[in-house]
Amino acid sequence: MITVKLNEPNFEYDIHSLVKAFYPGEDVYVSDRDCRKTDPVSFRMTVTYEHADEDASQEFPGSIRFAFHAGASGEETELSGSTAVNFSDRKETKNRLKQKLYELLCAYSGRTLPWGTLTGIRPTKIPLQMMEEGRSEARIRSYMKEKYFASEEKIGLAIEVARKEEELLADMDYANGYSLYIGIPFCPTTCAYCSFTSYPLTRWADQVDRYLDCLEKEMDFTAQAVTGHHLDTIYIGGGTPTTLTPEQSDRLLTKIEQTFDLSHVREFCVEGGRPDSITREKLAVLKQHSVTRISINPQTMKQETLDLIGRRHTVQQTREAFALAREMGFDDINMDLIVGLPGETIDDVRATMEEMKAMKPDNLTVHSLAIKRAARLRIQEEDYRGFRSDNTWETIRLTADACREMGLEPYYLYRQKNMAGNFENVGYARRGCEGLYNILIMEEKQTIMALGAGASTKFVLPNTAQVRRQTGASARIERVENVKDITNYLERIDEMIERKRRKMEELGWH
C-alpha cells in the first residue's frame, strides 16, 4: 500500500487519483483513513501546505512541499520537491499541485502517463470547449501539453474525437430535446470484471414481469413530465436486456411506442450484450419495433479468457449471433471488446481483432479493463493472482490501427478509474453509424431521463453551447438516482417517481 499524509485536508481527491494512476495495483490511503496498519508499505508520501502572509507584490506567496519516504517507518527521504502557489486561486493551485506531483511521480516510478495529469473521465471536454471558443488546433495542442502534460498521441486522439462530436451534434437542439435510458438489470450470469448493478436471471426470473410493471409506471410519469420536449435517442441497457423473453421485450417496446412520441427519434439502441442471450425470436421483436442499433458484446474471442471471467458463452456463439443479426437486416451493430483481461497477451488481442475484421461490425467499442471494488476480480483477488492483467501502448495502437483498417473512425472516448495501462475506452464507427447516445451521456450536453433500478437521471442546465458561449458558464448538472437494489426499486417505485417530480419542480424543468 501507499500512504499519503497531509498537514491539512486540501486536494485529497486529486492527490489520491494521480498517485493511483501511477500505481493502479496498490491501495492508496490519504490521511490514513481506512488504512490497514498491517499491510506492507511500498512508500510513504507527505504533502505540506505552507501559507504565507498575503503580499500583493508576490504572485505566489504560498507553497506546497512533497516528500517521498522509504523504510518501514518512513524515516528516509528519497525524493522531494515543492511548487509555489497562490491559495486564493484554488483552480490554479490545483493545477500547479498536480503538475509538480506528476513530475515527482514520474521521477520516482520511472514512467509517464499517456494522459499526463488528466485523471477525469471526459478528456475530450477540454478540446471541445476550446473549439467552441474558436481556438485553433495548435493552441489546443500546446495548452493540453503545457497544462496537463498529455502525450502528443492522446492529445491528437482527443482533438479528433472532439471534432467528430462537434460535427455529429451540430444540429442537436439541447434546450428542447432529451434522451431516454431504460435499464434492464438482469444478466445470464455476472462477469468477473463487472461492478454494474446486475442480477442473475436464474434467481430473478419470477420478478421480471413485476419489474416491467414498475418501468411502465415510470414511463407514464416521464412522458407526461417532458411534455414540450422532443425525444432524440433511446437506449435500453443493463445488465443484459436480451435476457427478457420475446414476449417481455414486445411488451416493453410496445409500451415505449404507445407512451412516447417517437417522431423525432434519431437513434433507438438495444444493448443485446451477451451472445448467448440472443435468438432469432428476440431479434425479430426488435426489428418489428424499429430498433435501429443493437450491441453484441464478445469482450474477447479467446475461449479460455471467456471461461476465466465467467462469460458462459462460446466464441462460436458470438459468430452465430452476429451472422443472425446481419441476416435479419440489422445494419448498425456495435461490438464491445476489453483489452487487459487476465492472462491475455498482445497476440490474443491481435487474434480477436482479426475475428472483428472478418465480421465487419459497424461500431467497435474498445475498453481498457477497469476493475472496481465491487467486481469479482477485485473481491476474489487471490483466485486471479496468477493471471497477469496487462495493457500497453502497443496493444492500444494495435486495436486503433485495426479499427481504421476496417473503415471505423473514433467518435467518442472516456476514461475510468483503475484502468489497465491508464489508457481509455474508445468508440469507433463507420461513418453514419456513430452512437449519438454515447456522446450525449459522456459529454453531458443533454438531459437524460433514466428509468429502472440503479438508473441515474441527469438534468443538464444550461444545456446549449450558445448559452455557454454567451454566459461563459459550464453546464450545470443535477442528478436524480433510483435505488440500485431491485427489491427496493419494486417496493419504492412511487418514491422514485416522486424524486423526479420534486427535482423537476425545483429546477423548473418543463
**pLDDT value at residue 68:** 94
Collapse the DSSP code of 208 into the 3-class scheme (helix H, G, I; strand E, B; otherwise coil) and give the result: helix
User: Mean per-residue pLDDT for 92-112?
Assistant: 96
- Of the candidates 452, 458, 455, which has an alpha carbon nearest to the alpha carbon of residue 440? 458
**pLDDT value at residue 407:** 98
User: Mean per-residue pLDDT for 145-172?
Assistant: 96
Contact criterion met (CB below 8 Å) for 503 and 459: yes
CATH superfamily of 174-497: tm_1862 like domain (3.80.30.20)
- Residue owning grid cell 504572485: 59
- Residue 370, pLDDT > 90, answer no
Separation of alpha carbons 147 and 320, rounded Å = 48
**pLDDT value at residue 382:** 44
- Nine-digit cell string for 216: 411502465
Exposure b/e, 25-61, CB count within 10 A at least 16 = b: eeebbbbeeeeeeeeebebbbbbebeeeeeeeeeeeb
Highest mean pLDDT among 164-178, 245-259, 360-374: 245-259
Separation of alpha carbons 269 and 266, rounded Å = 10
Rounded to two decimals, the pTM is 0.89
Q: What is the pLDDT of residues 297-314, one digit of tens each?
A: 999 999 999 999 888 899
| DSSP letters for 134-192 | T--HHHHHHHHHHHH---HHHHHHHHHHHHHHHHHTTT--TTTEEEEEEEE-EESS--T
Q: Which fold has domain 2-109?
A: Double Stranded RNA Binding Domain (3.30.160)
- Nine-digit cell string for 146: 503545457
Contact criterion met (CB below 8 Å) for 277 and 188: yes
More confident residue, 188 or 208: 208
Separation of alpha carbons 399 and 337, rounded Å = 10
- Nine-digit cell string for 431: 461513418
> In this prediction, what percent of the chain has a pLDDT beyond 70?
87
**pLDDT value at residue 198:** 59
Separation of alpha carbons 278 and 294, rounded Å = 11
**pLDDT value at residue 373:** 46
DSSP state of 207: G
> In this prediction, what percent of the chain has a pLDDT beyond 90?
73
Q: In which band, very low, low, confident or very high, does the pLDDT at 467 lie, cut at 50, 70 and 90?
A: very low
Q: What is the pLDDT of residues 214-272, one digit of tens each?
A: 999 999 999 999 999 999 999 999 889 999 999 999 999 999 999 999 999 999 999 98
- Of the candidates 426, 402, 281, which has an alpha carbon nearest to the alpha carbon of residue 350? 402
- Residue 195, pLDDT > 60, answer no
More confident residue, 40 or 86: 86
C-alpha count within 13 angstroms, C-beta hemisphere, residue 135:
19
| DSSP letters for 11-27 | SHHHHHHHHHHH-TTS-
CA-to-CA dists, residue 20 to 25, 417, 422, 475, 508, angstroms: 8, 8, 10, 28, 40
More confident residue, 465 or 175: 175
